[in-house]
Structure 1
């Protein structure tokens, strides 16, 4: 019965059970306030430009709050011709690795998925100023503010 009610109302079953049927406030979808969600079960990466309730593999995903880069998670960005060459000196084992690197500008997001046992480096097209993100499988989301 909940599934049918969910379809009729166009509302997530979880929201029905919680009694939360209020829509988000309209904020224009500002990409500078991007949110990342990562499923620890399947590795799915989901982003949103405003508050969201995201589920994957039957579990509610937690919003990943970015931490500014530090010496253990330093995001190095070099400009080579018309590309950014992004590297992170980080372990890339099956249990501890960088899952993705993202570049977020005012109007777009580029996400490059990485896998264990490959180098934590990517090349992406150079775009207008934006911020860089990297997600560590053990330590969460890291951010480099591009000045």
Structure 2
């Protein structure tokens, strides 16, 4: 039996086809340096704690670059007892909506998937300082330290 070339070279098929080897030098995987990916075709959401080669629907996905929110994407975060109550005044139509909200701390990454025509109200148990991420399907990824 012939062994596949990917096994011999110890690389994945996408790495072999692209000619770029993914080497994660951060073996401890710092969750605060997480990468987020969203498929532009089907909307799948991917999270990695280090460099990764992610593909979906036949497309290799780049890691998203988070921006500071503009007026249209401003997030409201209130601490109510042991929870953060998150809300955003943003359209939630089938064409333009917030796809997810995530809360990342030093030990956890939590996300809530949102859907068109729903409200944007999310609660996260307060686990200390961290970063909120939210993704607009038209304008990309935004972040805010809390």
Unaligned runs of 5+ in 1: none
User: Does the 8 Å contact 2:37/2:62 carry over to 1?
Assistant: yes
User: Does the 8 Å contact 2:66/2:143 carry over to 1?
Assistant: yes
Q: Write out aligned runs for 1:82-121 (5 A).
A: 82-121=82-121
**Change in CA separation of 1:74 and 1:55 when aligned onto 2, cut-off 3 Å:** same
How far did residue 43 of structure 1 move?
1.5
- Alpha-carbon distance in structure 1 between the residues aligned to 2:137 and 2:82: 30
Residues 1:122 and 2:92 are matched in the alignment: no
1:48 maps to 48
**Change in CA separation of 1:115 and 1:10 when aligned onto 2, cut-off 3 Å:** farther
How far did residue 87 of structure 1 move?
0.4
The residue matched to 2:118 in structure 1 has which SS?
A: coil
Q: Write out aligned runs for 1:7-18 (5 A).
A: 7=7, 9-18=9-18
The residue matched to 1:17 in structure 2 has which SS?
A: helix
What TM-score results when the alignment is normalised by the length of structure 2? Answer: 0.90
Unaligned runs of 5+ in 2: none
- Alpha-carbon distance in structure 2 between the residues aligned to 1:57 and 1:124: 31
Over the aligned positions, Cα root-mean-square deviation in angstroms equals 1.7
User: Does the 8 Å contact 2:22/2:52 carry over to 1?
Assistant: no
Residues 1:78 and 2:78 are matched in the alignment: yes
- Alpha-carbon distance in structure 1 between the residues aligned to 2:9 and 2:100: 35
How far did residue 85 of structure 1 move?
0.7
2:135 maps to 135
Show CA shifts across 1:71-120 (max 9, x none).
11111111122211100100000010000000000111010000000011
The residue matched to 2:132 in structure 1 has which SS?
A: strand
- Alpha-carbon distance in structure 1 between the residues aligned to 2:37 and 2:75: 20
What TM-score results when the alignment is normalised by the length of structure 1? Answer: 0.90
